[in-house]
Amino acid sequence: MNDCQRMSDLFGALHDEQLEGEIAESVRQHLSNCAECRDDFKWYGFTVHALAGLEKVSPPRDFLAQFRARVDAAQPVPFFESFRNILTLIPHIPLPVGVTALALMTVVGLSLYNYGPMYAVQTAASGYSSPKSETGPSAKGIVPLMARSHENTSASGMSPGAAYPFRAMPAAQDRIGTNMLTVESPSIDQAVESLKKILPDIQGKVLEEQNRQIGGTLLTVVIPLQAYGNLTTELVNHGAVAVGPRKDNSSSTVDPGAMRLHIHFVRSR
């Protein structure tokens, strides 16, 4: 390392007046004899001055207000507030549309939760009208469906719900919660007959049959409580509609382990 290089390394200390004694003296001596180093040291001093002399830049007047707003925005948002924010996130979507979309998503989510993904896929693939199409002009009441279900149950020893691979079907009482169902069928007689045929297999029996001129046939059956789930689930899955609990006016009583189920058969349109 030559003298000039060594001197240059000491510029900082020299400028900050941190050199003392012999070293300081030798540097000053070198600078007085070396024009190049002298010029370089001038530039070094100019650089330090230039850096220190940079104008102070003023922040915006509302800096503090901006900061407060920023901190407030970063505060945790209460649940209901965040819920409102989600719905108004996209300004082009009016709030009612957002609410509707959210409601729809909730329904789909609950369906997935209750029936499992396979059921949702099946439902989506066949559409909501599929149960009705089974009982459409080409179908013969609910006979084939009930028979198939019955065969499956007998052959495999599984409940109908267990046929779904991802999730056991929930108890029908939980899903349906009613003792009154309406079944649409192109042939009420055949549908009634097919139900009557499977009743003995589940230790059920017909309690009352009312033929109505306009309103189809109302069948009141008594079935064991444990059969309620399978039977009503099967009926609902093939198009029966749960229409709410019906008050039993009948004076006849049923066994403690049985229940009365009202099935209203109507002609499909």
Closer Cβ to another protein, 35 or 74, answer by number: 74
Closer Cβ to another protein, 61 or 92, answer by number: 61
Closer Cβ to another protein, 46 or 113, answer by number: 46
Binding site for another protein (CB under 8 A): 8-9, 11-13, 40, 42-60, 63-64, 66-68, 70-71, 74
Smallest separation, CB 64 to another protein (Å): 6
b (16+ CB within 10 A) / e for 79-90: eeeeeeeebeee
Smallest separation, CB 44 to another protein (Å): 5
What is the C-alpha separation between 172 and 235, in angstroms, rounded? 10
What is the C-alpha separation between 15 and 161, in angstroms, rounded? 89
Q: Distance between terminal CA atoms of the chain? A: 104
Nearest C-alpha neighbor of 229 from the set 152, 189, 169: 169
Smallest separation, CB 51 to another protein (Å): 4
Closer Cβ to another protein, 61 or 269, answer by number: 61
Count of C-beta atoms within a 10 Å radius of residue 194: 20
Residue with tokens 């850096």, as numbered in its chain: 51
Cβ-proximal residues to 190 (8 Å cutoff; 6+ apart), any chain: 140, 141, 143
Smallest separation, CB 87 to another protein (Å): 27
Quote the radius of gyration of the chain (alpha carbons, Å): 43
Closer Cβ to another protein, 70 or 269, answer by number: 70
Smallest separation, CB 100 to another protein (Å): 37
